[in-house]
Structure 1
Amino acid sequence: MRHKARASVVEQAWKVVLSQADKSRVRKARQDAKNGAVSDVRMGDGTITATVRASGPERGTFQVVLPWLADYTQHGKHVAKWLAHRPDWIAAHFASEWDPELLSFLNENGLNVFPDETTFERLKWEAKCTCSDWQPLCSHMLSLLFYLLADADEHPLHVFRFVGLDVEWLLDEAHRESARWVSEQGERNDSVGQRIPSRDVTIRVNELLGDVEAVSPSGRLAPRFGK
């Protein structure tokens, strides 16, 4: 059973979008997503695509496309490095729990994994569906969105899907980064006959952040991914 304390973390962050959508469509989309209407979710070329099975007057199966909030595909190794230095965030991910410090980190550093006040307008123009509904943000688009929100609530690191990063790759790269770091520290400390202080493994990821510059299509400020 999901914990109420974290069940609405991601959906709460998306209220800026959901509050502008048609309420009846939001209700239908949430229910359809819960009932398993969304399948074959894929990510690539700046979009998240899926098949959505519809109920109601227009029954059928439709193809839905949602745009990424930003493109971090060139910065995956930097994100993996943050995770490597915060194994507690990875542990929380596998425990289906949102670590409050991870949420604070994402918000305070302006990462684009959550929407802003411009996102709804962008979705109106860039989201696509093969249904005949000409109104912006049809229920099928919203069903895919609710699927993604529920997935990220249950598996926190999946918020990085909104910026084009594959979570399995991130975790593998974080593991490789941890192994490299421990190996380098071991060689350095062995040369002077010292043991590696375990507290050094908990380096604050904020120290890995540089100044900020616009890296997203919307021009929002986000961390500059340095070396």
Structure 2
Amino acid sequence: MTASVVSHPPIAARRGAARARTWWGKAWVRALEEAAYAETDLRRGRSLSRAGAVGGISLTAGQVVAAVADDRGLHTVDARLPVLTPESRATLVEVVAAEAGRIGSLLAGDLPHSLVEHADEAGVELLPFGTELETTCTCVGWLDPCPHALAVLSQVAWLVDDDPLVLLHLRGLPRDELLAGLHARTAVSYTSDGGEETDADLDTALDAAARAARILELLDGDADARVDHLF
């Protein structure tokens, strides 16, 4: 497996209750809450994350790296999550392909309950738990995760919240590898009468997801235009 690194720019300050909205984002938050040693660390981490103190986030399979600034300087956080084995990644591809619409849902920013449940039944755990999250930080604190690490993990929850493929990437199955696996699985299959089936269903799902994203983009742009017109 080749390392695929995705860099996310710094997230602007978020005021108020900027917590996870989706059920899978909340599952990530529960994991970091389980990993924390004290409520005060959690509050400090959330405060740093909402204040925009976290720099750009570099994300690859099993690892998140980011810098966090506070009144004592700049600190580098390295957070790790176990990746799936090659066998488990192959099983996950099969689970995604097992039900029509799952890949379209993932590309549209949704993580179906049934996908996670079926993956779990097949021995593949997607959602993290507290003891899986390991962190190091260059600050002088002796506890891991420290507030800086919790700040980074809090922002990762926002990224996972917006795009469940971030979670799959962290588990070792980036988007391109997932799509390649689905194409390889469905590229040439044989029907009971000896005919061939192509990957038309997958292409249709990809096209539908792209169209949906474009429609949302146009709607957002139209809404902005109406607001500008009013003022």
User: Same fold judged by TM-score > 0.5?
Assistant: yes
Please tell me whether residue 146 in structure 1 is matched to residue 154 in structure 2.
yes
Kindly tell me: are residues 29 and 174 of structure 1, through their superposed partners in 2, closer, same or farther at Cα, counting changes over 3 Å? farther
Kindly tell me: are residues 97 and 189 of structure 1, through their superposed partners in 2, closer, same or farther at Cα, counting changes over 3 Å? same
Equivalent runs, 1:60-99 vs 2, <5 Å: 60=74, 62-73=75-86, 75-99=88-112
Q: CA deviation at 1:99?
A: 1.6
Distance in 2 of aligned mates of 1:36 and 1:178: 45
Distance in 1 of aligned mates of 2:90 and 2:181: 7
For 2:39, the equivalent position in structure 1 comes to: 23
For 1:216, the equivalent position in structure 2 comes to: none
1:32, 1:143 within 8 Å by CA — same for their partners in 2?
A: yes
2:93, 2:181 within 8 Å by CA — same for their partners in 1?
A: yes
Kindly tell me: are residues 5 and 54 of structure 1, through their superposed partners in 2, closer, same or farther at Cα, counting changes over 3 Å? closer
Q: CA deviation at 1:18?
A: 0.5
Q: Which of residues 180, 191, 196 in structure 1 aligns to 2:188?
A: 180
User: What is the one-letter code of the residue matched to 1:7?
Assistant: T
1:6, 1:97 within 8 Å by CA — same for their partners in 2?
A: no
User: What is the one-letter code of the residue matched to 1:130?
Assistant: T
1:38, 1:143 within 8 Å by CA — same for their partners in 2?
A: no
User: What do you get for the CA RMSD once the two structures are aligned?
Assistant: 3.5
Distance in 2 of aligned mates of 1:135 and 1:52: 17
For 1:204, the equivalent position in structure 2 comes to: none
SS at match of 1:127: strand
2:83, 2:171 within 8 Å by CA — same for their partners in 1?
A: yes
User: What is the one-letter code of the residue matched to 1:145?
Assistant: L
Please tell me whether residue 112 in structure 1 is matched to residue 129 in structure 2.
no
Distance in 2 of aligned mates of 1:109 and 1:162: 19
Kindly tell me: are residues 73 and 132 of structure 1, through their superposed partners in 2, closer, same or farther at Cα, counting changes over 3 Å? farther
Kindly tell me: are residues 136 and 107 of structure 1, through their superposed partners in 2, closer, same or farther at Cα, counting changes over 3 Å? same
Kindly tell me: are residues 107 and 80 of structure 1, through their superposed partners in 2, closer, same or farther at Cα, counting changes over 3 Å? closer
Equivalent runs, 1:154-169 vs 2, <5 Å: 154-169=162-177
Distance in 1 of aligned mates of 2:28 and 2:124: 13
Q: CA deviation at 1:73?
A: 4.1
- 1:143-164 CA distance string (max 9 Å, x none): 2222322222222233223422
TM-score, normalising length: structure 1 = 0.62
Distance in 1 of aligned mates of 2:182 and 2:166: 15
RCO higher in structure (CA 8 A, sep ≥6)? 1
- 1:34-53 CA distance string (max 9 Å, x none): 53724241325xx4031222
2:78, 2:137 within 8 Å by CA — same for their partners in 1?
A: yes
Aligned residues: 180
Q: CA deviation at 1:88?
A: 1.4
